[in-house]
Structure formats: C-alpha cells, structure tokens
Amino acid sequence: MDSKAFFKLNYGVYIVSSSADGKDGGCVINTMAQVTSSPARLSIALNKNNHTLKLIETSGTFSGVVLSDDVEMDLIKRFGFQSGRDVNKYDGLPQGRDGLHNPYPTQGVCARFACRVISTLDVGTHVIIIGEVEEAEVMDEKTPGLTYSDYHVKKNGATPPNAPSYQENAGRTVGYRCSVCGYILESDTLPDDFICPVCGKDASYFVKL
Amino acid sequence: MDSKAFFKLNYGVYIVSSSADGKDGGCVINTMAQVTSSPARLSIALNKNNHTLKLIETSGTFSGVVLSDDVEMDLIKRFGFQSGRDVNKYDGLPQGRDGLHNPYPTQGVCARFACRVISTLDVGTHVIIIGEVEEAEVMDEKTPGLTYSDYHVKKNGATPPNAPSYQENAGRTVGYRCSVCGYILESDTLPDDFICPVCGKDASYFVKL
C-alpha cells in the first residue's frame, strides 16, 4: 500500500466547535461534507482523543465554519496547534453564538452551520458524526472556502500546491513532520498517542526530520 | 437557512466502482475522505437511488479513484451523466481490475484504492460507507486531484471558481440546472425523484431555466 495515494484526496479546512458544562472548545478538521440535502445534513470526522469530541458528545450539538481562502494563520494556529484541555481557544476571539448555544469564530470564515447530532459511527481511531443542520449562513459571499492544498501553500510559503508538503519541508527544522499536512512538532520525542493537531493523523504518519 | 452556505464546502471529484453478478458499474461522487490511518479507512457517501450502491451492497467491496486535475470531461460524462442501469459504463474504457475484482478507470486518474466495506450508516437519502483500504496506489505522481471548484471551471469554461456556477450558467440552455454543480438536465419536466448525476443532489436543488 502506498500511503502517498491518500495525499491526492481533496479537502477543505473547517473549525468545529461545541459548548458543554460552561466550557467552549473547537478544533480544526479537514473532513466536513454535506451528505443529504432534504433534510440538510453534514458529516464530520473527529479523532477520539479530541477534546472537542467530548464537548459534542455531552451537548449533542456542534457548530461548523468554513475557513475563508484569506484566513489569517493565527486562527488556524489557535484552533489547531494547541489543545482545548490546556486553554480556552475562544478567549479574546471575535465570536458569535448560534441558536444551539455553540460558539463560532466570526473572522476568516465564509459560512457557518449550527447542527444537532442525529447519529454517529465508530470507525476506529475516529468517530463520524452526522449533524442535522438547523442554521446555515453565508458569512462572506465573495471569498471561497480554503482548500486543504491552499492551506499548505499559505502555511509553507513556497510550497507548490501540487507537491506533497512533506517533500518541500524536509530539513527546515528539527523534530517530527506530519507527512500529510506538513505540521511540524518541534520535539526530540514523538509520543505514541500523538495526534496531528492540524489534520488529525496519528503518530504513524509522522517522519523524523 | 441559506442553502448557498453549503456551496462554500470544498470537495474533490472521484469515481467509485464495483462489480457484482458479472456486472461492472461506477459513478461520480464528491464525497470521499480518509477517516482513519491505522488501519487506513475511507468514507464515501452514495445516494440510495444510485445503481453503483446496489453493486457495492452485493459485492461488499468497491474501488475508488481520484480524478486528475487534467481529466478529460468525457470520463466524467461517461460516469456522471448516464445510469449504469442503462449502459455498461466500462464498455471500451481503458481499465484495470484490482485485487478485490473491481474495475477502475486508468486514464485521467492520479490515485486508486481497493476497499472492503466494514460498516455503513443510513443518513436518509444517502448511505455513508466505510471501506478498509486493502490497496492504495499512486497512478500519476505529478498531477494533483481535481477539486470540485476546478471541475466547475473546466466544465463551464468561463465560470470563475469563486462564483456559484448557477449564476454564470443562467440562460445558457433550456431545462433544469443543478444549483450546486451546474449540471443541466435538458428536459421539459423534472422528475420528483431525479438525482443529479454529477453531485448527487436531489430534485429540490434544481432550478428551472
């Protein structure tokens, strides 16, 4: 099996959030899709180690935003490069709150959804969640959603979208690099249970620099 | 609810195929994603009216290919604009057959997967299928996967990727146009159970021209 085949799949970039027991949280995912239109339902996939998943399981609801093509990297870093167990990612962030009481970022996003969980499917390390959409709003008519390959370009500067980022990033720093999205963990060790904070891939996808 | 919010989601373009009782079939979908890496598992979503779904349910396996950025429109038309109930879409097509005995197109694709169904989730008009990947192969190292927005550009010529294709296509012909992908059904009537052959949306997404 050639794992590079998976790099050919195309995704967008999204932030999924929820709120439970007075705590807000959210994370970056690349797996959000409309699965039915009547009624409107979305699917998302979250790693089981993800703090946001616990919030969604408790509240039974979630918000989802589509990141804009011109999103500031700070927003992705805020939601992708740290854990909601350690910090409140919504502290000080321009935000809204939808009809299901979940927060969502209001800058750098072009659409948002408010969803109620109607079913879940355990797929191993991850859970697929189906949400019935109760609110859908265009936040920015002109700007398209950020694609996962453009995210690599923006994050890595010179990396061409056609080239897997793991090739272009080689040797830029020390640590471990996610071979899927290019995220670099600057550390001497790679924990067995480490999950890429950007794309959710597990430690087996990381290569030593 | 503003249904245009859903147009902001990003997808790729894929062909999923299967073979049962001596018959080969396949269809175009925009929903394929890697959901876990250890083991490698893919999710796909298919409309219940889709002929290919019947083949997958019978065989318990499917192939998936990622269409290349430079794919010929004829391949998309072959698999997207007609039903496998009426024609054998693989007749005369350059093709391979994977270890699970499913056919796959070999031209205009940049990666392929052979999958065994391990679970399914009924989400209403569609079914989400989880496949464990038994084969993964890069078919074209240099060419990236076609994005759904680029597909609109290629199909419609002048349609900018940032603009919903339903705006740019208005008045080009007669019939009904899918407001999501721009596919045009040249017909005086729109059957209630009509499913867009390209993106799988139902009749409620079609607008009269």
Report the C-alpha gap between B194 and A167 in whole angstroms: 45
Residues of A in contact with B135 (CB under 8 A): 1
CA distances from A10 to A107, A142, B5, B62, B148 (A): 24, 22, 19, 19, 9
Residue that wins the pLDDT comparison between B209 and A134: A134
A184 pLDDT more than 80:
no
Distance from CA of B174 to the nearest CA of A (A): 24
Q: What is the CB neighbour count within 10 angstroms for residue A6?
A: 23
Q: Please report the pLDDT score of residue B188 as a whole number.
A: 81
Q: Do A147 and B145 touch (CB under 8 A)?
A: no
Q: Do B136 and A1 touch (CB under 8 A)?
A: yes
Q: Which of A3, A13, A31, A37 to mutate to test the interface with B (most CBs of B within 10 A)?
A: A37
Q: How many residues does chain A have?
A: 209
Residue that wins the pLDDT comparison between B168 and A183: A183
Report the C-alpha gap between A107 and A71 in whole angstroms: 8
Q: Give the domains, in start order, of chain A with CATH numbers.
A: 10-138 (2.30.110.10), 157-208 (2.20.28)
A37-74 pLDDT, tens digit per residue, is: 889 999 999 988 889 999 999 999 999 999 999 998 88
DSSP secondary structure string, A40-88?
Answer: EEEEEEEETT-HHHHHHHHHSEEEEEEEBTT--HHHHHHHHSS-TTTS-
Residues of A in contact with B32 (CB under 8 A): 9
Residue that wins the pLDDT comparison between A177 and B106: B106
Q: Please report the pLDDT score of residue A83 as a whole number.
A: 79
A119 pLDDT more than 90:
yes
Q: What is the residue-level pLDDT of chain B in tens, covering all 209 positions? A: 888 898 889 999 999 999 999 999 999 998 999 998 889 999 999 988 889 999 999 999 999 999 999 998 889 888 887 778 888 999 999 999 999 999 999 999 999 999 999 999 999 989 999 999 999 999 999 998 998 877 766 655 322 222 233 333 334 457 888 877 777 787 788 888 887 776 777 888 888 88
* 8 A C-beta contact, residue A154 and residue A68: no
Q: Please report the pLDDT score of residue A173 as a whole number.
A: 57
Distance from CA of B202 to the nearest CA of A (A): 7
Distance from CA of A86 to the nearest CA of B (A): 25
Percent above pLDDT 90 for chain A: 50
Q: Do B128 and A121 touch (CB under 8 A)?
A: yes
In terms of Cα–Cα distance, which of B77, B23, B92 is closest to B51?
B23
Q: What is the mean pLDDT of residues A174-184?
A: 76
Beta-sheet pairing, A61-67 with A95-97: unpaired
Q: What is the mean pLDDT of residues A24-42?
A: 91
Residue of B nearest to A136 (CA): B1
**Preceding omega of A39 cis (within 30 degrees of 0):** yes
Q: Please report the pLDDT score of residue B186 as a whole number.
A: 75
Q: Please report the pLDDT score of residue B24 as a whole number.
A: 96
Sign of the alpha-carbon torsion through A6, B139, A69, A128? negative
Percent above pLDDT 70 for chain A: 88
Provide the pLDDT confidence category of residue A189 given band limits of 50, 70 and 90: confident
Residue that wins the pLDDT comparison between A144 and A174: A144
Provide the pLDDT confidence category of residue A160 given band limits of 50, 70 and 90: very low
Q: Please report the pLDDT score of residue B86 as a whole number.
A: 81
Distance from CA of A25 to the nearest CA of B (A): 21
Q: Please report the pLDDT score of residue B159 as a whole number.
A: 29
A72-100 pLDDT, tens digit per residue, is: 888 988 888 777 888 899 999 999 999 99
Distance from CA of B91 to the nearest CA of A (A): 26
Q: Which of A34, A70, A112 to mutate to test the interface with B (most CBs of B within 10 A)?
A: A34
Report the C-alpha gap between A1 and A60 in whole angstroms: 37
Residue whose entry in the numeric block shows the structure tokens 């890496």: B37
Q: Which of B3, B4, B10 to mutate to test the interface with A (most CBs of A within 10 A)?
A: B10
Q: Please report the pLDDT score of residue B88 as a whole number.
A: 92
Q: Closest partner residue to A5 among B6, B137, B204, by Cβ?
A: B137
